[in-house]
Amino acid sequence: MKKEKILIALTVLVDVIGIGIVIPVLPFYVESFGAKPFVITLLFAVFSFFSFISAPFLGALSDKIGRRPVLVISILSTSIGWIVFAMANQIWVLFLGRIIDGMAAGNLPIAQSYLTDISRNDKERTENLGLIGGIFGIGFIVGPMIGGVLSSVSHAFPFWVVGVLALINSILVFFFLPETNANIDKTKKLSLNPITPLLKAAKNKELLPAYVIWFFFGMAAVGMHSVFALFLSKAFGYGAFASGIYMTFIGVVIAINQGVALKHFWLKKFKESNLTLWLMPIFGIGYFLMGIEILPIFLFGMVIITFSQSVLRVTLNSQIAGSAEANERGEVMGILAGVMSLSTIVGPIIAGYVFQIKENLPFILSGIYALIASGIILSMRRKIQNKILPEDVNVAPQDI
């Protein structure tokens, strides 16, 4: 593997380890401050809100000045945010840590743009984005394990560890990662208003259906993640360590599915557009099964969701990246991150609210979101059902 891919993989890995730690450990850490479930999910939402503000700007900035400097700033923000979070002694400091992290949360979209820059063809682009998916799997193995084990020292200790890892990563990227954006546009106009790129996205008839599908996909995924540990505690009596074990299992499935099966099975046997069409409703069914408070059924639904989500995340990203112009790729991926951030603002707030009414309602809602996305995909497919695409052309988002 090239040095550039290794460093990008490390960047994504540190990010995902942080996510992997957050899901099983954060609820119990925040509960030690006397917070209720709704406040816990607000911590997910506040990060997403500031990520929503920053991600499109950072993506466009990477088109203007390059991927490398923006990536360094973003990773440093992650490091500082986690360290502040770990040293908190009051709830408002917890929120401050998540705000700092969110204010420059461009790691993932810029990493995706970086890997797209160095891709020589469509297949390699999908495989490179699949690499990120494989790293997600590894991060979800390592992160929950770190969270589960280190939380036995203290609930704050895992966040110290991920903050230091991010600091080391920023130093490595600064000194060793080369610039890959060969289409730097120094005349590109930037906007600090996060609504501006979304309005631009809304006017893009080619990409708009993909953005809407991506929004509901994000709503489904984050709604479950934000209450996952709380649900396990309420429904089955599990604590942080057991939640970490379940998340580790999810990580193993993601790593195998995206790191091996995506390249050697899914992309060989099926078209990207067909994978999206078939897996989205299966994704929704998995959430309905998880909402049934019987452990074997819950686990079966979790497996279905993990398999389908890990493929969908890659195919959706690849289709959108493939349709973007080279000098707008960073901006498009930034908009995509902004749309995801918007879904992860709304999703946790709704999930936290309905969880307090009945603990399985967030899973039911996630299933509904996935079915809405499935309906849009099917509608778009019907509009182009008579269109025959050559084998070697990009699959555009409207073909989803």
Eight-state DSSP code of residue 393: S
pLDDT (0 to 100) of residue 93: 95
pLDDT (0 to 100) of residue 326: 66
Residue-wise DSSP of 182-241: TT--TT----S-THHHHHHHHH-TTTHHHHHHHHHHHHHHHHHHHHHHHHIIIII---HH
Residue 190 lies in a domain: no
Residue 188 lies in a domain: no
Flag whether pLDDT at 104 surpasses 90.
no
Largest CA distance in the chain: 61
Residue 242 lies in a domain: yes
Name, of 9-13, 30-34, 271-275, 298-302, the range with top average pLDDT: 298-302
Q: What is the CATH number of the domain that holds 13?
A: 1.20.1250.20
Q: Which domain holds residue 171?
A: 3-175+195-399
Domain count, the chain: 1
Flag whether pLDDT at 376 surpasses 50.
yes
pLDDT (0 to 100) of residue 49: 87
pLDDT (0 to 100) of residue 61: 83
- Within 10 A of 9 (CB to CB), how many other CB atoms are there? 18
Two tokens, residue 31: 């509960």
pLDDT (0 to 100) of residue 388: 40
As a whole number, mean pLDDT of residues 202-220 equals: 88
Residue whose token pair is 């590109």 = 188
Question: What are residue 118's phi and psi, to 5 degrees?
Answer: -90, 5
Angle 323-326-329 (CA atoms, 0-180°, nearest 5)?
A: 70
Flag whether pLDDT at 213 surpasses 70.
yes
Measured distance CA(17)–CA(182) in Å, rounded: 31
User: Burial, 184: exposed, middle or buried (Cβ in 10 Å; 0-12, 13-18, 19+)?
Assistant: middle
Flag whether pLDDT at 394 surpasses 50.
no
pLDDT (0 to 100) of residue 399: 39
pLDDT (0 to 100) of residue 106: 67
Name, of 67-71, 303-307, 384-388, the range with top average pLDDT: 303-307
Measured distance CA(252)–CA(58) in Å, rounded: 31
Least-confidence region, from 113-122, 255-264, 302-311, 378-387: 378-387
Residue 334 lies in a domain: yes
Flag whether pLDDT at 108 surpasses 90.
no
Task: Identify whether the C-beta of residue 76 lies closer than 8 Å to the C-beta of residue 170.
Answer: yes
Residue 183 lies in a domain: no
| Amino acid, single-letter form, for residue 21 | I
Q: pLDDT tens digits for 119-159?
A: 777 677 777 777 776 777 777 788 888 787 888 888 889 89
Measured distance CA(394)–CA(378) in Å, rounded: 19
pLDDT (0 to 100) of residue 398: 37
Measured distance CA(327)–CA(329) in Å, rounded: 6
Mean pLDDT, the chain, whole residue set: 82
Give the pTM.
0.73
pLDDT (0 to 100) of residue 197: 67
User: Burial, 269: exposed, middle or buried (Cβ in 10 Å; 0-12, 13-18, 19+)?
Assistant: exposed
